[in-house]
Structure formats: structure tokens, C-alpha cells
Amino acid sequence: MRILILGAGQVGTSLAEALASEANDITVVDQDAQALALLAERLDIRTVAGNASHPSVLREAGIDDADLLVAVTQSDQTNLVACKIARSLFRVPTRIARLRSADYLDPAILANDNFAVDHAICPEQEVTDYIAKMIEFPEALQVVEFAGGRVVLVGLRAGADGLLAGKPIRTLREHLPAGVDARIAAIFRNHRQIEPDGNTVVAPGDEVFLLAASGQIRRVLLELRKAPAPARRVLIAGGGNIGARVAERLERDYSVKLIERNRGRAAAIAMQLSRTLVLSGDATDENLLTQENIDETDVFLALTNDDEDNIMAASLAKRLGCRRVLALINRRAYADMVQGGPIDIALSPAQVSIGTLLTHVRRGDVARVHRLRRGAAEALELIAHGDAQTSQAVGRRIDQLPKIGGARIAAIVRRAELGVLMPQVGVLREAYPERVIIPHHDTVIESGDRVIVFCTHKRQVKEVERLFQVAAGFL
């Protein structure tokens, strides 16, 4: 696939890294020639320096032959204009734009008659949603959803106090109540992947990815560790775009304080938020954190625009007694270094938002992509199509599928064949409920199934995509 990426910031760079190793023809456009040179040294890609909204620059970058344009510069206006030009002048089939302002997310504005954006992404909002989910599951290292929230995949450290501690995985079903089922999709021990089977014993400290229906996941997590007390008090460092969004999202359900260094910005945020206590100060100030009872705070979120400040503030909050700390860190080397040490969660904004971009790039009918373990692993939600003649997957039992080492079908979401009448806005309407299936070796994949596959390494993704692609000519 010929892909044109506009913007060599964190999101554009992460996307280029993810796609360059998958036999795609990648060109990156940015005005920063030095950033492009550094990117070209590491990746087998082409780069063009220039303004991404100029037709001449886009033509030099090869837009005439592009299959996909991804506009992820820092400017909403540049991204919108580039998408409009890509459709009007060059007929690029698919156009994706990063938009930070909610004002531009109106479908009428994005329609083909206007800016011609097929898919709009807002990384700041995706990071906000992700952080909210992490606070909802305070024991988790990572939480992602599939099938519109019907299925939840949680990554966490196994504890010695879990119900499954010291027992083989096959006893999991013996512990769970009737009607509750789950799947341990992967285990990583000392950073090495272990292929789980019924005889595998989960050891304390293992990084375990566990999947279940959303209504059952909390009960299932007790198998791996005792449930911590729910979070109530949250302290946010940084009142930028993400910090303010997170505060606004959380203040309805939690007691929230926010520390912002810039006094003018703090005053503006205080007017914007209704329940959050906004403080003007430095989140790396030990006296300030102590005054704000950091030792009684459940979650500390370091969300400034500076990696070093976030690391320092989160490390200090942890040392002063905060139960759990999360730091927003853009540099991957920093994130790998601090997570699991002084900082509980090192969150990369680019890694959170890149899943949405990959959803539109993957081959086959891919409904959702999540990057896991900071990009090393990946989980996909694919929609099965075809029949036994046109598909390698449909109409076959799990144990009849081609073996892909490291890839594991973790769950299936299946739509009911018969509709039922359900009240909607005071009127009974026909609906087709979906149920979550934790598959076993004899489960047969049906057309229309939403199949969730865990890949312990991203190199397995292409094989999984091919498995669910239908033969040429299928309608």
C-alpha cells in the first residue's frame, strides 16, 4: 500500500515505524528537515520537506499514486486542507485527519462536499478515554475494549493473593460462577512470552493479559489479584489540552485537584471546570504536594507537555505516599526505563492513538486495533466474512485453522440470528443482541462473527489478516 503521512511528530513517527516494517511504501512530509533526516536514518521510507497543505509539495511526495493519506500535523487547518486537496485534485481513495478541536468534528464539515475527511481522529480525546479506563481499573497496566465495549482485555501483574495463585490455568473455570467465562490470552514472564495452556501456572509478578465480557471482567480479575480499593481522589499535574480534558471527564465521579504552573492558564481552567479544585503551582514542589495531602491521594496523573517534569513529579508523588501514579511520556526510552520502577504506568500518547489509525490501514475487515506492551504486541478485532469456500476461517473449528505461532483467538462476539423486541425511546423495536463467546478448540467461526485475536508479536499480524481475508470475487 502506498501511504502518505503528513507530519513527523510523535503520532506520524509512530505510524511510520509501525507501517514501514509491513511492506508498505511510506512517504512522510514535514517542514522540519532535520526531523525527517533522523527518521529516514532509522526507517526505510521516503521523506519530503515542505508545507503539507501545498499541492506542489504533495505532488512531489507522490500523492498521484497514493492509496491512503494520513494528515497528522499539529495544525487542524493544514490537515483539513490537505484532505480536501487529496480528494479534489488527486482522487486519493482514503483520507484520515487528526483534529484537535471539537468544532471540526461535525460530520457536515468532514463530508466530501466540504473537507472530504473519511476518518477523523482526536489523540487527546483517546488519551483522555484511556486514562479514565485506567482509573476505573486501578490494578491494571493496560485496559482496552472491543466490540463497542462488550469485551474488555486487561493487562496486569499477577499477585500472590489471587485465587489462581499456585494453580494451573485449567482450574480457572472451576473457580468462576456459572455463566462466567474468560480467557488468559498471553503471559509474559521476565519480559519473555509464555504460551499459556491448561497446565500453565501463573506466577506472582507475571504480566498477564486476561479477556472477558465487560460485565464479568471484575469478577474474573480476582483470579489474578485481590481487588484494590476503588479510586476516589485524583491529583492532576498539568492543565494543558489533555490535563483539562481529563479533569473535565473525571470530576463527575471523583474528587479532582489540578495543578497548573501558568497562573493565567490556571485561572482559565478554573472557569472551564465546575467541580475541580485548580491550583497554581509547580507539581514537582514537595511542599505543595504535601500540603495537598498527596499521601491520601489514590491516583496522581502527570500530564504536562514535558517528559522530564512528568517523570520527576510522578516519582516524587509516589515517594510521598500516593497509591498509584501515571506519567505521560512521549520518549519510548524513558517509558521503558521508568515503568515498573518509581512510576506505575508510563503512558505514550502516540501508542494509544495509533491503534485507531492502524484500524483503517489493516487489510481485511478490521474493526479495531490496539497496540499492547508499548507496541511490541497487538490485539485485533476482525469481522469474519464469506463461507468455507471463500474463507480460510469461516465454517471451520478453531483446531482446524492454520497454526500461527504466537497468535491466539481470545473471544468471539456473535450477533443473534433472531431479533427480539426491545424498548427504544418508548417504542418497541426489533434488535439483534450480541453475545460474547470464549472459544474452545471445537468452536466454529461463522460469517459475521467479530473475532478478537491476540498477537504476542506484531509480525504475526499479517498472517492473521490473511487468514480472515476472503477470496477474490467474493461479494
Which of 352, 378, 400 corresponds to the end of one domain?
352
Rounded CA separation 400/443 (Å): 10
Answer whether residue 90 shows pLDDT above 90: yes
The CATH number that applies at residue 445 is 3.30.70.1450
Whether residues 335 and 423 fall in one domain: no
> How much of the chain exceeds pLDDT 70, in percent?
95
Whether residues 338 and 260 fall in one domain: yes
Give 53-80 pLDDT, tens digit per residue.
999 999 999 999 999 999 999 999 999 9
Give how many domains the chain has, as a whole number.
3
Q: How confident is the model at residue 428 (pLDDT cuts 50, 70, 90)?
A: low
**Other residues' Cβ atoms within 10 Å of the Cβ of residue 331:** 14
Average pLDDT, the chain: 90
Q: What is the 3-state secondary structure (H, E, C) of 333-344?
A: HHHHHHECCCEC
Give 122-148 pLDDT, tens digit per residue.
988 899 999 999 999 988 999 999 998
User: Is residue 252 in some structural domain?
Assistant: yes
Whether residues 348 and 370 fall in one domain: no
Whether residues 70 and 34 fall in one domain: yes
DSSP 8-state class, residue 189: E
Whether residues 335 and 401 fall in one domain: no
Whether residues 341 and 389 fall in one domain: no
* Strand, coil or helix: 68: strand
Whether residues 418 and 346 fall in one domain: no
Task: Give pLDDT, residue 421.
Answer: 64
Which of 88, 121, 154 corresponds to the end of one domain?
121
32-61 mean pLDDT: 95
CA atoms within a 13 Å half-sphere pointing along the CA-CB vector of 224: 23
Answer whether residue 241 shows pLDDT above 60: yes
318-336 mean pLDDT: 87
Rounded CA separation 340/325 (Å): 11
Answer whether residue 474 shows pLDDT above 60: no
Q: How confident is the model at residue 425 (pLDDT cuts 50, 70, 90)?
A: low
Task: Give pLDDT, residue 266.
Answer: 96
Tell me the residue range of the domain where 303 lies: 233-352
Whether residues 436 and 335 fall in one domain: no
- Regarding pTM above 0.95, the answer is no
* Strand, coil or helix: 263: helix
Task: Give pLDDT, residue 175.
Answer: 81
Longest dimension (CA), the chain: 69
